Chains A and B, each alone.
Chain A
Amino acid sequence: MLRKLWQVLFKRRQRRQSSGQVRTGSAEKRISSELPVNRERIKAAFGNSADLVLQDLETGAQGKVSALVVHIDGLCDKRLVAEVVIRQIADTEHEWNSAKQAYMDLKDRLLSGSAVKEVDSLDSFVASVSDGKCGVLVDGVTRGLVCDTRGWAQRSIDEPTTEVTVRGSKEGFVETLRTNTSLLRRRIASSRLWIEEMKIGRISRTSVAIVYISGVADEKLVQEVRNRLERIDVSAVYESGHLEEHIEDAPFSPFPTILRTERPDKVTGALLEGRVAILTDGTPFALIVPATFTMFLTAPEDYYERYFIGSALRILRLASFFISLTLPALYVAVTTFHQEMLPTPLVLSVAAQREGIPFPAVVEAVLMELIFEVLREAGVRLPRVVGPAVSIIGGLVIGDAAIRAGLASPAMVLVVAFTGIASFATPVFSLAIGVRLLRFPMIALAGALGLFGVVAGMAAILAHLTALRSFGVPFLEPLAPVVLSDLKDALLRAPWWALDTRPRFTGKARPVS
């Protein structure tokens, strides 16, 4: 319904369907046999950018053959370019009869230390150079060579900051796609780990990798991921969240249907279950599809600690999920509609606390929730030096002062604080933030209709969750529809030796091979 409303209100601009490839112009530029012509064309293509490096070299015994080496400063490993490319070309004492022969020699022998490739058109030559490769053109040859000399400054592999674990691998993804795939390959040393790479973004040409285990992941699922990614037509991809919004099943839902993680071990586990991971260059966050509700309440430790500890922690997280969604609403409902539900001493104590507070409980709840949300938001982006100051103001001054000023009751501060803490027990931020937003309509419902409103809100949320799908898999699977064998790893975690089947959606239940 919301979607229809949206469509009516904001008529979607008709997008031109395009394959997402660089538009292959009707007359693809060919490489000229004249080196100076090529040189000018390349310069023109880059608009004479400052970081473009063009080097003219003479090669062969008498320097008979001239060559052009092109790379972009900062994207290439300088030492590699010097040793593997420039020295090989410039220092050779080969006797070559023709430029063609020199070219073939360079390709097959001299430059072969750097994964050399041949390109036919100037366009793909330029594209390779902008990708960080080092291009070599030989005078009189209408083909070019590109050597893989990529190497740039990158962040070292670090502990993931958003998904900290007590026990387990401390490695996290980095911003470089190739490093990330290597992290996965190191964990799954099998030729069946397949990595398909594609470029998305007309201008940015961002590398995106679809990673799956052949024979485990359903081929139809992989095809669906491929299709959805190929349909994306944007000028640039900034982050995997950008892709996520383009390919998710329910863009209007407050619940995420794609799991994001910066932990290679989490991705490894998902791959082995038959899921597909999408890695994006330039971000440490990988996407995992299909994602189900229980995955969002799962932390890697569940699997590393012993199984009953893992199970207990999951139940705790589920409880805090419900607390963060409903506790303020329940408090408002009970104190303004159902005073008979509280034990007598408690109701008198709550009444005593609310004595003299000018707002109705629902306004008090919304007010305190807002203050909390602002504090949290400010805290996330706080420069380290002012951090303590804000937490003092926030925690002590506002909490205590609100009570002293008679704006809020201590019980409400407790409820809001506990709710806030409970929302941080959800391991995946994207789910937690959705729940935090839903809390406000729940409070409003509770303030208007009491417990009836809370129940109605919960029913609506449940109905919505049941209707959600993530890449064809029901979002609440294995809870609804019930999949008995998958319940082993849903709200509880069975011992490892009992986890011998893959999730149902892979279509390959047993054995795990």
Chain B
Amino acid sequence: MSVDRALIISALVIFVMMATTITGCWSRREIDTIGFLMAIGVDEAQEKGKIQLTVHVAKPFAIGGGAEAKGTTEEKPFWVVSSTGHTVFEAMRNLVSQSPRRPFLAHSRFILIGEELARRGIGDVIDWFQRDGEMRRRAWIVVAKGAKASDLLQVEFELEPMPSEGGMGIVMATRTELSTTITDCTLHCFLQQLEGEGADPVATRAEIILRPQEFDIRGELRREKVGASARITGAAVFKDDKLVGWLNKPETRGFNWIMGQVRSGIIVIKKPGEEDRFIGLEILRARGRFRPEFKDGRVSVTVGIEAEANVGDVQGFIDPLRFPEIWDSMERRMATVIKNEVMAAVAKAQELGSDIFGFGAELNRRDPEKWAEIKDRWDDEFPRVGVHVEVKAKLRRSGLVIRSTRIKR
């Protein structure tokens, strides 16, 4: 046997031995050793200066994704657990002492923030969420109105066993096809607004609604499992990183009109001629834009909104073919409603002193020199900004019928 050959054989043997013995786990983690965090809640801890982290962990075995559901239907498919720490990161690591499975963040849908902490400022807690490699910037930021995040994490939705999925279902439906009464507010855009000059962030608002544990429908005794549920609507207004107030549903849509984020929703107008009856209009498509300008040393903003809608339902009788003027007056009323929503949002924002629309940022883009002058007193200037709204409203179709049914009297 030549030296050459011996060398190669021994190298091979060593290679095989190494390959079979030193293959460490590195970043390998089996899927069944991971605890998937579905939502993360942050509150002030009772202990002064500490942060309480509450997480909602999925229990896959209780979902029963396989051939047979292993868990009983009574078992909840999630686990809510909390821990404390001086920082979010420490609290997260402290969690490990309670969870047999390693927390995994990439599937977190929500970052919930308790109102108390939000009012105190969330700048110190938000850092970890953008710094950690597992966290996604697509997670939604939700502020619990009048509650702690840990309480909000206890809610359940009747149609979804997993509350995070249920919450996500509501968010997705609300922001698109149904009403657009929440704002698109992910960690990513929250951070952008937080850092951006002349802009303040908004977040989604959620309230806990309590439901009776048991109730009786027509003598039938039915167990209502859901004790507390959540209503996700409206928006939380921040000034810098501190919560300063809330937008209700119309105000939130007013905000969305300005931002051009309205996708659909219902506009209710009073029926022309019969002021006690209503007409529901469904928004088809909308465009919104705003243009801040300097006029006589003051800042004024022109908001332009174009909206199209269909007639959804009508109380009373209309016949637009014979009386076309009703169509015009419906359009006018629709424009008025939109304008009112926009003005309400502006008024609330100016009252709270928070430039959630980013008027300042847009000013900066259009006229950086003027902005440099006004920048330092923008906080004083913003509440005095004059907003002028122009709405072009158009009604398109009237549903399957044009004329209402004439009811015999």
Contacts and interface: CB of A to CB of B under 8 A. Distances in A.
Interface of A: 5, 8-9, 335-337, 339-340, 344-345, 347-357, 360-361, 403, 409-410, 447-450
B145 interface: no
A348 B36 contact: yes
B281 to A, nearest CB: 35
Contact of B63 (A349, A357, A448): A349
A337 B63 contact: no
Contacts of A360: 28, 30
B104 A339 contact: yes
Interface in B27-83: 27-32, 34, 36, 38, 58, 60-61, 63-67, 70
B4 A8 contact: yes
Contacts of A9: 5, 8-9
B388 interface: no
16 contacts: A5-B8, A8-B4, A9-B9, A336-B29, A339-B34, A339-B107, A340-B107, A347-B31, A347-B107, A350-B31, A354-B30, A355-B66, A355-B70, A360-B30, A361-B30, A403-B67
Nearest to B108: A344
B23 A351 contact: no
A347 B106 CA distance: 11
B165 interface: yes
B134 interface: yes
A361 B8 contact: no
Given A348-B36, A353-B66, A403-B67, A361 B106 contact: no
Nearest to B28: A336
B109 interface: yes
A447 B19 CA distance: 13
Nearest to A404: B67
Contacts of A348: 36, 58, 60, 63, 65, 162
Contacts of B104: 339-340
B67 A354 contact: no
Contact of B65 (A8, A352, A450): A352
B136 interface: yes
Contacts of A352: 60-61, 63-66, 70
Given A9-B9, A336-B30, 11 more contacts: A335-B31, A337-B28, A339-B34, A340-B134, A348-B58, A348-B162, A355-B66, A356-B70, A410-B66, A448-B28, A450-B27
4 tightest Cβ-Cβ pairs between the two chains A and B? A349-B65, A340-B106, A352-B65, A352-B60
Nearest to A335: B31
Contacts of B64: 352
B27 A337 contact: yes
Contacts of B38: 344
A336 B65 contact: no
B187 to A, nearest CB: 15
A147 B6 CA distance: 60
A409 B63 CA distance: 15
B65 A350 contact: yes
A356 B71 CA distance: 13
B127 to A, nearest CB: 21
Contact of A361 (B31, B34, B63, B67): B31
A450 B30 CA distance: 12
Contacts of A355: 32, 60-61, 66, 70
A351 B5 contact: no
A448 B22 CA distance: 11
B67 A345 contact: no
A448 B107 CA distance: 24
Contacts of A351: 31-32, 34, 36, 58, 60, 65
A8 B32 CA distance: 46
B165 A339 contact: no
Contacts of B58: 348, 351
A409 B66 contact: yes
B296 to A, nearest CB: 54
Nearest to B133: A340
A30 B8 CA distance: 56
Contacts of B134: 340
A344 B34 CA distance: 13
A409 B26 CA distance: 24
Contacts of A449: 26
A344 B109 contact: yes
Nearest to B32: A354
A410 to B, nearest CB: 6
Contacts of B60: 348-349, 351-352, 355
A113 B5 CA distance: 64
Nearest to A362: B28
B380 to A, nearest CB: 45
Contacts of B30: 335-336, 354, 360-361
Contacts of A5: 8
B165 A357 contact: no
Nearest to A5: B8
Q: Which of B30, B107, B162 has its CB near the most chain A CB atoms (within 10 A)? A: B30
A13 to B, nearest CB: 16
A345 to B, nearest CB: 7
Contacts of B29: 336-337, 339
Contacts of A336: 28-31
Contacts of A344: 36, 38, 107, 109, 165
B32 A357 contact: yes
Nearest to A4: B8
Q: Which of A339, A349, A409, A447 has its CB near the most chain B CB atoms (within 10 A)? A: A339
B35 to A, nearest CB: 10
A348 B136 CA distance: 17
Contact of A410 (B23, B28, B67, B162): B67
B169 to A, nearest CB: 11
A356 B70 CA distance: 11
A279 to B, nearest CB: 41
Contacts of B67: 403, 410
Contacts of B5: 8-9
B99 to A, nearest CB: 15
Contact of B165 (A345, A347, A356, A448): A345
Contacts of A361: 30-31
Q: Which of B26, B104, B107, B165 has its CB near the most chain A CB atoms (within 10 A)? A: B107
Interface string B76-119: 00000000000000000000000000001011010000000000
Contacts of A350: 31, 65
B70 to A, nearest CB: 7
Q: Which of A349, A353, A355, A403 has its CB near the most chain B CB atoms (within 10 A)? A: A355
A360 B29 CA distance: 9
A340 B34 CA distance: 11
A350 B30 CA distance: 11
A472 to B, nearest CB: 32
A351 B38 CA distance: 14
Interface string B261-305: 000000000000000000000000000000000000000000000
Interface in B125-174: 134, 136, 162, 165
Given A345-B165, A348-B65, A352-B64, A8 B8 contact: yes
A186 to B, nearest CB: 54
B39 to A, nearest CB: 11
Contacts of B107: 339-340, 344, 347
B106 A339 contact: yes
Contact of A450 (B28, B61, B109): B28
A351 to B, nearest CB: 4
Nearest to B12: A5
A349 B162 CA distance: 13
Nearest to B71: A352
B183 to A, nearest CB: 22
Q: Which of A349, A354, A357, A447 has its CB near the most chain B CB atoms (within 10 A)? A: A354
Nearest to A364: B30
A88 B63 CA distance: 91
Contacts of B4: 8
Contacts of B162: 348
A337 B107 CA distance: 14
A409 B136 CA distance: 28
